[in-house]
Amino acid sequence: MKIVTLNTWGGRAGKEKLLAFFDKYKETTDIFCLQEVWSAPVESLEGQSAGGRALAYEEIMSYGMGEISELLKDYIPYFHPHYLDHYGLAMFVKKDLVVTEEGEEFVYKYKGYLPEGDLGNHARNIQYVTLNIDDKPLTVINFHGLWNGKGKKDSEDRINQSKNILEFTRRISGEFVLCGDFNLSPETESLKMFEVNGLRNLIREYGVTSTRTSHYTKEEKFADYVFTTKGIAVKDFRVLPEEVSDHAAIFLEL
């Protein structure tokens, strides 16, 4: 089982570069877990502050879900937005895998919540698929954590967000992988909570020094993480070299 997680940055680093990345890895990847994916533009949002910058559709892949789906024809696409019906989480699962369940759960605010002020402070959900692997369940969870415009430190909302994710995982039968852009620094309690509750932090275990690319110019070099239950045997784990976003893509082989 090979998984790639990537915050696509809405395709701001270049549509052709991002699609070329998927084309390169589609033959060797079973599941893509993606964050910041658009399905269609919303004209009324043009120019509004989103994540600390003005939203400009000319800069992003506003039809990214369809364009990526067109390229990844051997995958089943799953899209779970957390802002309106147009922006959120996407997973692409190889068609030869047996999916027994898929869905979402909101861990900050609620579905349909519209923030005041910056659009980046929208609701947050987790997206998951459960697979039948050798007659045993394996769940893969995709996540994009709360942005609040105040860095990647702890807050009450982030602590509660982590608690809600952990509550969800307690209802999972079998092993699982939790991955994505957590928007958290490594030293935060919001992140350490996952380790305290028995999960392996592969970013820490493998000594990763940054999950950002040269497109990201701020000092904080961590945002993306992969956690696994201890019953999962990790065969390979690494940050991929392609710079197709301000986030690096992360590869995991189970």
User: What is the pLDDT averaged over residues 18-37?
Assistant: 98
Instruction: List pLDDT tens digits, range 38-47.
Output: 999 999 999 9
Contact (CB, 8 A) for 45 and 72:
no
pTM for this model (two decimals)? 0.97
Distance, in Å, from the CA atom of 212 to the CA atom of 63, rounded to the nearest integer, reads 24
Contact criterion met (CB below 8 Å) for 129 and 101: yes
Which 3 state secondary structure label does DSSP give 135?
coil
Of 13-17, 101-105, 219-223, minimum mean pLDDT range: 219-223
> How far is C-alpha 66 from the chain's CA centre?
18
Instruction: Give the residues across from 6 on adjacent strands.
Output: 34
Residues 6+ apart with CB under 8 A from 147: 51, 120, 121, 183
Q: What does the pLDDT read at residue 88?
A: 98
pLDDT band of residue 249 (cuts 50, 70, 90) is very high
CA distance 96 to 9: 29
Alpha helical stretches, state H, 72-206: 156-169, 189-196, 202-205
Return d(Cα 190, Cα 152) in angstroms, integer: 10
Domain extent listing, the chain? 2-253
**53's tokens:** 């910058």
- Asked if residue 219 has pLDDT above 90, the reply is no
| Across 189-213, average pLDDT | 98
Distance of CA 164 to the CA centre of its chain: 17
| Under 8 Å between Cβ of 117 and 150 | no
pLDDT above 70: percentage of residues in the chain: 100
Q: Kind and range of the H or E element at 77? A: strand 75-83
% of the chain exceeding 90 in pLDDT: 97
Q: Can you tell me the mean pLDDT for 180-203? A: 98
Taking domain 2-253, whether its CATH number is 3.40.50.300 is answered by no
Length of the chain: 254
Instruction: Write out pLDDT tens, residues 42-79.
Output: 999 999 999 999 999 999 999 999 999 999 999 999 99
Q: What angle do CA 242, 249, 215 make, to 5 degrees?
A: 60
**Which residue has better confidence, 220 or 233?**
233
What average pLDDT score do residues 215-237 get? 96
Measured in degrees and rounded to the nearest 5, phi and psi for residue 90 equal: -140, 140
H-helix or E-strand containing 18? helix 15-25
Can you spell out the DSSP letters for 34-96? Answer: EEEEESS--GGGTTSEETTEE--GGGS-TTHHHHHHHH-TTEEEEEEEEETTTEEEEEEEETT
Nearest by Cα to 32 from 67, 3, 75:
3
Q: Decide if 194 contacts 126 (C-beta within 8 A).
A: no
- Residue 72, token pair as written in the block: 């990844």
